[in-house]
A and B are shown apart, each in its own frame.
Chain A
């Protein structure tokens, strides 16, 4: 049982480049989330999904897009990366949106 798997684990981008982060869960969870974690600021919600085919904006959605075409996958896209998007990105999922989330191991993204 893999839980929540994020790929890639590390990435360096140049300003203006695009990329997609992939999150996959094998627990049949309905809810999925993308967070960013910056030093001293805790976790901030970027986008989330309450089920296959649905997405919604979180606290800091600007510069990011998401898609959830299949229940088990939640993709986070950066169309034109900026240095302000340098961060650690976490994907999480939960069965019922209760807050008891299972997290992936994170993606460390650096934009230069």
Chain B
């Protein structure tokens, strides 16, 4: 059975800290791994990582894919209160383009 596991489930840090969120996967036909941010409503796309693009960066956020370890990390440096959200990891299957989602990491940034 295809599955995606995120850790930790929740995390509380202070503004200015650096955080690392983890995502591991076991799937039969890997195509890509995606990170999304969910605030109050709809998830919004952050990064897509593939075999040909294993590292992405945007401002204070960066992500790395480790295909050997079947995992990915999402780093956020110099955190701000606006970074508080649920961060979702998903794997896109090559067989049918479906996404398999992790349960998410709830990140709370305290002022």
Contact = CB atoms under 8 A, between A and B. Distances in A.
B98 A100 contact: no
A58 B101 CA distance: 13
B19 interface: no
Main secondary structure of the interface of B (DSSP, over half): strand
Given A42-B103, A48-B98, A99 B41 contact: no
B103 A45 contact: no
Interface in B29-56: 31-32, 34, 41-45, 48
A21 B33 CA distance: 29
**Chain B interface bracket (under 10, 10 to 19, 20 to 34, 35 or more):** 20 to 34
Contacts, number: 56
B64 interface: no
A101 B32 CA distance: 13
Contact of A105 (B42, B103, B104): B42
Nearest to A56: B96
11 contacts: A4-B42, A33-B99, A50-B97, A56-B96, A59-B98, A98-B97, A99-B90, A99-B99, A100-B45, A102-B45, A106-B42
